[in-house]
Amino acid sequence: MKRELKGLSVGAVAMAAVLGACNTSDPERQCSVARAVSDGSLGSFAATYALKDGAPQPDRPCTQLQAEPVGLQKYFSQDPSAPDTVAIRTKRMGDLLEDFDAQIDPASAGKPYAVGALASENPGADNFCDVPQLAAARLEVPASGEQPAQSFSYEWSNLRIYNTPEIPGTQFVADLRYSENGCTAEYSVKGIWPVVSCATSGKPDEAKCDPYPDYSVGRLRGSGINPLFPVKCDPVALICVLTGEVPSDRKP
C-alpha cells in the first residue's frame, strides 16, 4: 500500500539546524508535499484561480471558479524503478460528488482526482518539484428525469511544488484547463498550506490570517500560516489566500 509522505516535524528542523552548525553535509532533499490532515484526507491548500484570458466572463459557467481548499498528496511508488506520484482533488469536485451521488454510475463517472508522476525525487536547482502532466479528474453525470447529462473535468498540468527548509512543500503553482458542460476555460492556480478560515459571524476577518498572536485583543495564537506568506482573507471563500507570488520565501 502506498504510504503518505509525512511533513517535516519541528524536531527534524531543529536537528537539521544542529547538523548545519557542525558543518555536517545535509542529506539530499526529497520532494515533499505538506502532510495530510489528521482524518487521513488529502492535505488541504488554500488555492486561488486566475483566468488566463483576463477579466471574468459572467455569462460562461466555466469561468467562475473561486478560491477554495484543494487537496494535494504525495504517494510513494511500490515499484522502486517507478516515480512517486502526486494526487489533486478540489473541494468543488467533492461537493459535486455529493450533490449528484444518487445519479452517478461508478462505472462511467470517471475519477474525481488527478494523478501525475514527479519528474524527479529531488527538488531542482530552483527548489521546485515538478509534475508536468496529470491524468484528468472527471465527473460524468447521466441525465435524470428533466435534468440533462452533465460533465465536469479538471485537466491539471505544470504542477510545481516549492521545497526549501522554510517552505517544505507548502506552496504550489499549476495550470488548469477546466471544462463544464462544453464550456472550457484556462486558469493559473496557486496555493498555500494550510487552509485557515477567516470568517467571523459569516464575514471576512483579516485578523484571523495574522500568523502572530495578539494578546492585547485576546488572540492567543496565530493563524498557523507561514509568516513568509503575504495573505488576505478571501471575501467569498472566507479562507486566507496568498496575495504574492510563488515562491514567497523572503521576509518583507
Q: Where are the beta strands (DSSP E) in 118-200?
A: 128-135, 137-141, 150-163, 168-180, 183-192, 199-200
Hey, where are the domains in the chain?
A: 10-193
As a whole number of angstroms, the distance between CA 34 and CA 196 comes to: 14
The distance between the two most distant Cα atoms of the chain, rounded to a whole number of Å, is 71
Which is it for the CA torsion 239, 245, 249, 252, positive or negative?
negative
Residue type, 174: A
Whole-model pTM: value is: 0.84
Continuous H helices in the chain = 10-21, 91-99
As a whole number of angstroms, the distance between CA 74 and CA 81 comes to 17
- Secondary-structure breakdown of the chain: helix, strand, coil percentages, each rounded to the nearest 5: 10, 35, 50
Vertex 132: Cα angle to 128 and 138 (nearest 5) = 125
**From the CA atom positions of the chain, what is the Rg in Å?**
20
Kindly give the confidence (pLDDT) of every residue in the chain, 252 residues in length, as a single tens digit, with 9 standing for 90 and above.
Answer: 334 333 333 333 333 433 344 444 456 789 999 975 544 444 699 999 999 987 777 789 999 999 999 999 999 999 999 999 999 999 999 999 999 998 888 888 899 999 999 999 999 999 999 999 999 999 999 998 888 999 999 999 999 999 999 999 999 999 999 999 999 999 999 999 999 999 999 999 999 999 999 888 888 889 999 999 999 999 999 999 999 999 997 665
pLDDT digits (tens, 9 = 90+) for 46-91: 999 999 987 777 789 999 999 999 999 999 999 999 999 999 999 9
**C-alpha dihedral (123, 128, 132, 136), degrees to nearest 10:** 110
How far is 116 from 125, CA to CA, in rounded Å?
21
pLDDT tens digits, 209-226: 999 998 888 888 899 999
Task: Confirm if 115 and 135 have CB atoms less than 8 A apart.
Answer: yes
Query: Which residue's C-alpha cell is 503553482?
Result: 173
